[in-house]
């Protein structure tokens, strides 16, 4: 244009909101909505399509939470639908657009749930937000428990379980090899998910040298999920006999397993005391019902659960490889209360980080029981609420080198400490405008293939961070995405498919 | 309470006090108004075998007259006054009414009852439409000789109010259902609180032999937290439309004719329920001096009526006022969705009928607002247009906007094509010290891809004419 200067804008780096809009840099927007970034281009955002085929199923409504649920052979979704009129939360298992199972779990008051997959099973913990003065705290529902779902459409059941009831009969069997003398015997049940119950039906019997042992009237379980029963025994009892038989250390007898829940006898069991290696006594201390909590995660093959209704400082840790085996004595992580609940946890570089909304501490597995792990305070002001640590494809957190955490300060990279400036530095004004009591609504996921971070905001629209140019405060491009309906939850499934869960108004 | 023949002794002392006068509402604090009354009686010759009634009564009226500033910064001069509420609070040093009777005789008993009534005695009384009073009664009794009884009542912390509701046309003086601002200034040039209290002591005693005694009482008043609230409305230049919406449609507009400067109703923000929407927020489609078009935020969508307020700045008034009421009918759009980067619309569940089907809606107005272009000296610039390198489908809208959206200019739309060798120029004639460009789309199936935007400007003046 004659006599006119020009300002060329050909770099678009997304929304900028740090106080006065006049301070917006040349390559940023002082207002924006529903845009995406591809290379240098800025384009209209992705559209949304329905995820369930209306011709094949009745689409679910009132969606509160969705997780990607990896089965052994495919990725599926586990979905919470909450009806505010009845205050009932119902969980479904959505296999694909044409197939859904459920309801698999229905609980009054379940407005949210924690989830972790383990060996193809789903572990589910119902929780909700409760008023605590001016704050809202997330914790497990009162008188509710951890549930396990097999992934096959059958209803979820309470994890763990009580032992068998009844009395065994014990007699001398055929010729065999045993150490003579008084021994204590009992039975342990095993469920389909591998949970071992406390030993029950304890009896004493005097072994006869050269003769095996036969067991009759072995108790069965009314729980159809029990698939095996194991006979356990002590070594020879030194006189006098302690009448409290639970005080004796019990061991699994090799090859003394009934591989069903029907047969009531096992005959001619031979063993020497020196064959008793695998301890079963620790099973006495386990929870038979694991209280519900507000978060679940995995650490070194252990299930970690935290923030129960009766104690929102409580963090429970299971035995290695046994997510339902949590000792009431040794399976606790000790930590100093600070008035806020434990609200999230994640494993990062072999360390378990446990967070409250306003603090972060760490625990290291020292190879001993969890109760011996020493807490180390990492951060005294920053933490996060449930769903505030970015999930990647398989519903577990972290990539290799970082966690992405939504704190009250902003969206931060966590690499053992919270990096500053935070990733949301450019939109600090927007982040600080969110209502703090509603931070429990925030959920963050990362689509690594699309190079996007998705954040459900407290105002129930999407905040998208495009990381195509790098995952750092300067290169990230932020854009709000709004929809006609409110968005409650988001998940990434099947490599890079983004799934949204929308609520009724 | 025993009932028999009475001979009453009536001690009545009416006290009327006007003032003290306070000159500044904010300096009132605690306002002690403490007249007392008392009376005695002495009847040594009484020889009653039955109950003897004595009464002492006091009545006091206090006035507090409070000046207030002509509230042009609070109530605009074109306001129509709907209601006025005057209120005060009794302080923790309470209104008290007490009585004590001392009777000396043998075999005597006495009963005393203290009554307090406090009620407003407001000015402009024919227009009062509601008020409250405070009534408290306490009593005490004793037997034996000598007899002393007392009673007191303490209503600390209670509020007293009176209201003028002009919408009900009190006294027939407000047929339009409001008081004009001019009349408001005239009739309520000061805020006057008048409180009347009545304190009454009744005593009843019986006995034989000589009987003497006295009755005394007092009434003290401390009040604070004076307030005067005015409900008013104005007829806005802005019109809200539509008045009803049914989801998934969720767009509302505020429109007006071009204002005459100085602009008395420049909108700074729109309130939808509890959500404040400002010009750069994601919910905004377009924001000019004569048109504001916005999406309803999902968190404010619920069946029923929703208040829409605007925050305006003007020469007469600045603040938040109602713009209208929106009736919303919701639809169940909930469900599981997935992002589709090949889609240019949002496909939603449609549960308005059976079975469930789908419906297409526009992606809520995608837009961006560039940074504000100026020169380093903040001179007055002439913005002559833009050149945008864009492709896509549909009409691409552009708007020059000054700081705080005081001035805007709509440019001609660019019709996009998916394949495009042109970088079209859009002419403008916009003069301001700073300007940014809003680029947006607002129609279903429209989409844009923007690669570059060039803004042309030239220094025009170093300042505006003084």
What residues of A are in contact with residue B441 (Cβ under 8 Å)? 44
- Determine the distance in angstroms separating the CA of A40 from the nearest CA of chain B, rounded to an integer: 7
Mean pLDDT across A253-274: 94
Please give the Cα distance from A299 to A345 (Å, whole number): 9
Q: What percent of chain A has pLDDT over 90?
A: 87
Q: What share of chain A is helix, strand, coil (3-state, %, to 5)?
A: 5, 45, 50
pLDDT digits (tens, 9 = 90+) for A433-457: 999 989 999 999 999 899 999 999 9
pLDDT for position B5: 20
pLDDT digits (tens, 9 = 90+) for A300-312: 999 999 999 999 9
Q: Which residue in B333, B372, B436 is closest to A484 by CB distance?
A: B333
pLDDT for position B60: 54
C-beta pairs of A209-212 under 8 Å, 24+ apart in sequence: A209/A178, A209/A179, A209/A180, A210/A175, A210/A176, A210/A177, A210/A178, A211/A172, A211/A173, A211/A174, A211/A175, A211/A176, A211/A178, A212/A172, A212/A173, A212/A174, A212/A175, A212/A176, A212/A177, A212/A178, A212/A267, A212/A268, A212/A269, A212/A270
More reliable by pLDDT, B91 or A129: A129
Sheet with B335-340, strands from edge to edge, namely A47-50, B335-340, A497-502, A487-493
Please give the Cα distance from A367 to A363 (Å, whole number): 12
Question: Can you tell me the ipTM of this complex?
Answer: 0.92
- Determine the distance in angstroms separating the CA of A36 from the nearest CA of chain B, rounded to an integer: 9
- Is the confidence at residue A315, as pLDDT, over 90? yes
Mean pLDDT across B118-133: 73
| Contact at CB, B297 and A24, closer than 8 angstroms | no
DSSP per residue, B233-283: E---S-EEE-SEEETT--EEEEE-PPPPSSPS-EEEEEEETTEEE-TTSTT
pTM recorded for the entire structure: 0.79
Q: In the predicted model, what is the mean pLDDT of chain A?
A: 93
From A167, A202, A209, select the one nearest A185 (Cα to Cα): A202
**pLDDT band (50, 70, 90) for residue B33:** very low
pLDDT for position B114: 59
pLDDT digits (tens, 9 = 90+) for B56-73: 555 555 555 555 554 444
Please give the Cα distance from B266 to B258 (Å, whole number): 11
Least confident of A331-335, B204-208, B346-350: B204-208
Mean pLDDT across A382-410: 82
pLDDT for position B7: 21
What residues of B are in contact with residue A497 (Cβ under 8 Å)? 338-339
| Contact at CB, B336 and A59, closer than 8 angstroms | yes
pLDDT for position A486: 93
Q: Where are the beta strands (DSSP E) in A200-265?
A: 200-207, 211-216, 226-233, 251-258
What is the interface size between A and B, counted as CB pairs within 8 Å?
A: 242
What residues of B are in contact with residue A34 (Cβ under 8 Å)? 282, 363-367
CA atoms within 13 A on the CB side of A306: 26
Mean pLDDT across A379-407: 81
More reliable by pLDDT, B180 or A360: A360
pLDDT for position B6: 21
pLDDT for position B394: 95
Mean pLDDT across A172-196: 94
- Determine the distance in angstroms separating the CA of A347 from the nearest CA of chain B, rounded to an integer: 29
Token code pair at residue A162: 């009580």
pLDDT digits (tens, 9 = 90+) for B434-455: 999 999 999 999 999 999 999 9
Mean pLDDT across A462-486: 96
Q: Which residue in A33, A36, A47 is closest to B344 by CB distance?
A: A47
pLDDT digits (tens, 9 = 90+) for B272-311: 988 999 998 999 999 998 999 999 998 888 888 888 888 8
- Determine the distance in angstroms separating the CA of A374 from the nearest CA of chain B, rounded to an integer: 43
Mean pLDDT across B244-250: 91
Mean pLDDT across B351-355: 89
| Contact at CB, B368 and A31, closer than 8 angstroms | yes
pLDDT for position B25: 23
DSSP code for B412: P
**pLDDT band (50, 70, 90) for residue A225:** very high
Q: Which residue in B284, B297, B335 is closest to A502 by CB distance?
A: B335
pLDDT for position B48: 41
- Is the confidence at residue A495, as pLDDT, over 60? yes
pLDDT for position B385: 94
pLDDT digits (tens, 9 = 90+) for A23-75: 899 999 999 999 999 999 999 999 999 999 999 999 999 999 999 999 988 99
Q: Which residue in B340, B356, B453 is closest to A46 by CB distance?
A: B340
**pLDDT band (50, 70, 90) for residue A480:** very high
Asked whether the beta carbons of A383 and A360 are under 8 A apart, the reply is yes
- Determine the distance in angstroms separating the CA of B447 from the nearest CA of chain A, rounded to an integer: 6
pLDDT digits (tens, 9 = 90+) for B204-233: 655 555 555 555 555 555 666 666 777 777
pLDDT for position B94: 41
- Is the confidence at residue B55, as pLDDT, over 90? no
Least confident of A473-487, B91-105, B408-422: B91-105
Least confident of A211-220, B38-47, B170-179: B38-47
From B310, B242, B221, B270, select the one nearest B17 (Cα to Cα): B221
pLDDT for position B112: 59
Asked whether the beta carbons of A305 and A296 are under 8 A apart, the reply is yes
> 3-class secondary structure for A380-443?
CCCCCCCCCECECCCCCECCCCCEEEECCCCEEEECCCECCCCCCHHHHHHHHCCCHHHHHHCE
| Contact at CB, A42 and B450, closer than 8 angstroms | yes
Region of A366 (left: φ > 0; alpha: ψ -120 to 50; beta: rest) is alpha
- Is the confidence at residue B4, as pLDDT, over 50? no
């Amino acid at each position: 244009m004659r006599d006119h200067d020009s300002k060329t804008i050909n770099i678009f780096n997304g929304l900028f909101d740090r106080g006065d809009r006049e301070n917006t840099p040349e390559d940023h927007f002082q207002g924006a909505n529903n845009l995406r970034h591809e290379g240098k281009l800025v384009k209209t955002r992705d559209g949304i399509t329905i995820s369930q085929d209306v011709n094949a199923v009745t689409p679910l409504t009132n969606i509160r939470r969705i997780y990607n649920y990896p089965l052994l052979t495919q990725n599926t979704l586990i979905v919470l639908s909450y009806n505010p009129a009845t205050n009932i939360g119902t969980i479904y298992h959505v296999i694909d657009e044409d197939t859904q199972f459920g309801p698999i779990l229905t609980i009054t008051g379940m407005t949210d749930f924690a989830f972790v997959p383990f060996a193809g099973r789903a572990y589910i913990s119902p929780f909700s937000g409760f008023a605590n003065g001016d704050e809202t705290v997330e914790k497990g529902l009162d008188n509710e428990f951890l549930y396990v779902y097999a992934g096959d459409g059958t209803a979820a059941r309470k994890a763990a379980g009580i032992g068998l009831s009844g009395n065994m009969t014990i007699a001398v069997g055929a010729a065999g090899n045993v150490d003579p003398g008084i021994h204590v015997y009992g039975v342990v049940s095993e469920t389909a998910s591998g949970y071992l119950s406390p030993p029950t039906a304890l009896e004493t019997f005097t072994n006869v040298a050269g003769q095996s042992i036969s067991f009759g009237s072995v108790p069965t379980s009314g729980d159809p999920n029990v698939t095996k029963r194991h006979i356990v025994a002590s070594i020879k009892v030194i006189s006098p006999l302690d009448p409290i038989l639970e005080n004796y250390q019990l061991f699994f007898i090799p090859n003394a397993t009934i591989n069903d829940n029907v047969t009531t006898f096992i005959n001619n069991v031979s063993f020497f005391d020196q064959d008793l290696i695998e301890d079963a006594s620790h099973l006495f201390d386990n929870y038979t019902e694991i209280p519900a909590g507000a978060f679940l995660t995995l650490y070194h093959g252990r299930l970690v659960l935290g923030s129960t209704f009766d104690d929102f400082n409580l963090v429970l840790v299971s035995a290695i490889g046994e997510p339902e085996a949590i000792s009431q004595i040794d399976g606790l992580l000790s930590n100093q209360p600070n008035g806020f609940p434990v609200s999230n946890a994640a494993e990062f570089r072999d360390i378990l980080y446990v967070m409250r909304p306003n603090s972060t501490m760490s625990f290291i597995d020292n190879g001993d029981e969890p109760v011996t792990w020493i807490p180390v305070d990492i951060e005294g002001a920053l933490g996060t609420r449930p769903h505030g640590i970015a999930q990647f494809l398989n519903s577990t957190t972290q990539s290799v080198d970082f966690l992405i955490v939504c704190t009250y300060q902003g969206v931060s990279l966590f690499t053992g400490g919270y990096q500053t400036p935070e990733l949301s530095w450019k939109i600090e004004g927007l982040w600080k405008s969110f209502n703090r009591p509603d931070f429990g609504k925030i959920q963050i996921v990362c689509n690594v293939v699309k190079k996007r971070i998705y954040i459900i905001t407290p105002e129930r629209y999407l905040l998208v961070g495009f990381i195509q140019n790098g995952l750092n405060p300067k290169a990230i491009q932020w854009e709000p995405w709004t929809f006609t309906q409110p968005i409650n939850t988001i998940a990434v499934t099947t490599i890079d498919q983004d799934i949204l869960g929308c609520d009724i108004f | 309470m025993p009932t028999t023949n009475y001979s009453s002794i009536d001690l009545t002392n009416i006290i009327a006090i006007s003032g003290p006068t306070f000159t500044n509402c904010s300096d009132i604090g605690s306002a002690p108004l403490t007249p007392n009354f008392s009376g005695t009686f002495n009847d040594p010759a009484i020889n009653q075998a039955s109950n003897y009634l004595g009464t002492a009564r006091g009545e006091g009226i206090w006035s507090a007259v409070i000046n207030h500033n002509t509230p042009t910064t609070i109530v605009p001069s074109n306001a129509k006054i709907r209601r006025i509420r005057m209120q005060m609070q009794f302080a923790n040093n309470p209104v008290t009414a007490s009585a004590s009777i001392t009777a000396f005789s043998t075999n005597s008993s006495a009963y005393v009852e203290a009554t307090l009534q406090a009620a407003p005695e407001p000015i402009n009384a024919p227009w009062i439409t509601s008020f409250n009073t405070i009534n408290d009664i306490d009593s005490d009794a004793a037997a034996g000789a000598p007899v002393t009884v007392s009673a007191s009542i303490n209503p600390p912390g209670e509020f007293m109010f009176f209201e003028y509701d002009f919408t009900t046309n009190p006294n027939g003086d407000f047929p339009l259902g409001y008081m004009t601002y001019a009349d408001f200034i005239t009739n309520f040039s000061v805020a006057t609180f008048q409180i009347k209290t009545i304190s009454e002591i009744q005593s009843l005693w019986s006995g034989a032999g000589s009987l003497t005694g006295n009755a005394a009482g007092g009434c003290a008043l401390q009040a604070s937290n004076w307030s005067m609230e005015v409900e008013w409305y104005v007829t806005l230049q802005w019109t809200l439309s539509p008045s009803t919406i049914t989801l998934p449609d969720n767009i509302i507009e505020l429109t007006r004719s071009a204002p005459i400067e100085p602009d008395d109703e420049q909108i700074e923000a729109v309130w939808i329920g509890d959500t404040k929407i400002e010009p750069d927020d994601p919910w905004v489609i377009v924001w000019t001096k004569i048109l504001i078009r916005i999406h309803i935020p999902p968190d404010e969508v619920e069946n029923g009526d929703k208040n829409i307020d605007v925050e305006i700045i003007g020469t007469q008034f600045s603040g938040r006022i109602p713009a209208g009421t929106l009736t919303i009918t919701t639809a169940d759009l909930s469900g599981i969705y997935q992002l589709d980067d090949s889609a240019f619309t949002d496909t939603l569940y449609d549960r308005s009928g059976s079975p469930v089907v789908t419906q297409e809606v526009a992606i809520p107005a995608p837009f961006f607002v560039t940074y504000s272009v100026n020169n380093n000296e903040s001179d007055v610039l002439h913005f002559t247009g833009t050149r945008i390198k864009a492709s896509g489908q549909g009409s691409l809208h552009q708007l020059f906007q000054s700081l705080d959206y005081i001035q805007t200019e709509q440019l001609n739309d660019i019709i996009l094509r998916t394949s495009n060798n042109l970088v079209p120029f859009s002419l403008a004639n916009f003069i301001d010290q700073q300007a940014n460009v809003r680029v947006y789309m607002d129609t279903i199936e429209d989409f844009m891809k923007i690669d570059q935007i060039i803004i042309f400007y030239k220094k025009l003046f170093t300042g505006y004419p003084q």
